[in-house]
Chain A
Amino acid sequence: AQRVTQPEKLLSVFKGAPVELKCNYSYSGSPELFWYVQYSRQRLQLLLRHISRESIKGFTADLNKGETSFHLKKPFAQEEDSAMYYCALSGTSYGKLTFGQGTILTVHP
């Protein structure tokens, strides 16, 4: 079975502060991990995935297989980062993403 856990439902930071959204997963094989973001009144969209190892909008995420984690980080949060963030896992089954419960990030001015 595969499972994704995001322990924080809500996360508040001030503009310019570092932010880390936590994600832990459970999967017996080699998963593909992703972060999706949903801004207010917009559709769910891919933020980044671990295999690309790139930084998007200043966000990075490193897959730690030992700790089964895929935390999302940004050194200096911006107000426009306020959104719902979902961590998701893809295993070996067709077309299925397993999502965490999501973390609402609020960046205060």
Chain B
Amino acid sequence: KAGVTQTPRYLIKTRGQQVTLSCSPISGHRSVSWYQQTPGQGLQFLFEYFSETQRNKGNFPGRFSGRQFSNSRSEMNVSTLELGDSALYLCASSFAEGAVGYNEQFFGPGTRLTVL
């Protein structure tokens, strides 16, 4: 099976702009989680989508949003970019079928966002 893919791999934006990142999960996986990775804060959970519904959200401002499509592909959007949004954004997919708890998460290579 093809792994989780993320596009684009690199992005450079300026403050105030908005950005959309895309994640294609492993075929058959319906859950997609997003994480932000920075040197200072490490890996932090942003949100999770399952069957086009956001089921869980981390402690990030409303500028961070996402959605999931019927084919399970997911996008996340960051509006009004700030310098502190510079990070590696990872998505992970799993086979989760609605049960709370862990289903192995498979990670993509990430999108490196730089905000100038």
Contacts and interface: CB of A to CB of B under 8 A. Distances in A.
Describe B's contact surface by its main secondary structure: strand
A102 B40 CA distance: 11
Contacts, number: 64
B4 to A, nearest CB: 8
Given A95-B33, A96-B33, A102-B42, A90 B102 contact: yes
B107 interface: yes
B96 A95 contact: yes
A32 B102 contact: yes
Interface residues of B, number: 29
Contacts of B64: none
Given A43-B107, A43-B109, A46-B105, A93 B56 contact: yes
Chain A interface bracket (under 10, 10 to 19, 20 to 34, 35 or more)? 20 to 34
B78 interface: no
Between A32, A86, A96, A98, the greatest number of chain B beta carbons within 10 A of the residue's beta carbon is seen for A96
Contacts of A26: none
Contacts of B102: 32, 34, 49, 90, 97
A93 B42 CA distance: 20
Interface of B: 3, 31-33, 35, 42-45, 48-50, 55-56, 58, 90, 92, 94, 96, 100-102, 104-110
Interface of A: 32, 34, 43-46, 49, 86, 90, 92-102
